[in-house]
């Protein structure tokens, strides 16, 4: 599993002093954007090619709290890739204690940026398809 790390920012917390539940989607998105950049290409460059990757499903389970300034890690992996859709699995841990705080997954599809129509990477962008396919375990 690939790992992303950073500290919880103050604005990500709520009045109770914990990361607001909606921000876990942002944490995993930050990790996913870095994962794509580290393994495939910069997402901005992908958009310049005309490819976007909308989210079609995201779900998760809250296990423990993260608080302001906690160092956390997001361990993630690509679990499914068809060239039209892909799925990721995530585990968010408190990096200091090792405690699992959130686990979940997200599913995405590849689309043309102008009309959001699904595309087949294998047909339209074979090099990009190969880069993603090589990462599926």
Q: CA-to-CA distance for 58 and 43, rounded, in angstroms?
A: 19
- CA 78 to chain CA centroid, Å, is 9
Choice among 14, 30, 38, 45 that is catalytic: 14
- The answer for residues whose C-beta is within 8 angstroms of residue 47's C-beta and 6 or more apart is 113
Contact assessment for residue 43 and residue 114, using Cβ atoms and an 8 Å cutoff: no
| Known catalytic residue at 113 | no
Tell me the catalytic residues: 14
């Amino acid at each position: 599993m690939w790992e992303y790390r950073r500290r919880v920012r103050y604005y990500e917390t709520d009045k109770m002093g914990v990361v607001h539940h909606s921000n876990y989607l942002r944490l995993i998105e930050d990790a996913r954007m870095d994962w794509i950049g580290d393994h495939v290409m910069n997402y901005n460059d992908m958009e310049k090619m005309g490819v976007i990757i909308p989210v079609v499903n995201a779900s998760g389970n809250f296990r423990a709290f993260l608080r302001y300034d906690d160092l956390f890690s997001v361990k993630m992996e690509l679990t499914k890739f068809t060239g039209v859709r892909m799925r990721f699995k995530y585990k968010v841990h408190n990096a200091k204690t090792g405690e699992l705080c959130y686990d979940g997954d997200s599913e995405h599809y590849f689309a043309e940026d102008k009309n959001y129509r699904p595309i087949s990477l294998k047909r339209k962008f074979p090099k990009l398809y190969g880069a993603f396919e090589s990462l599926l375990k």
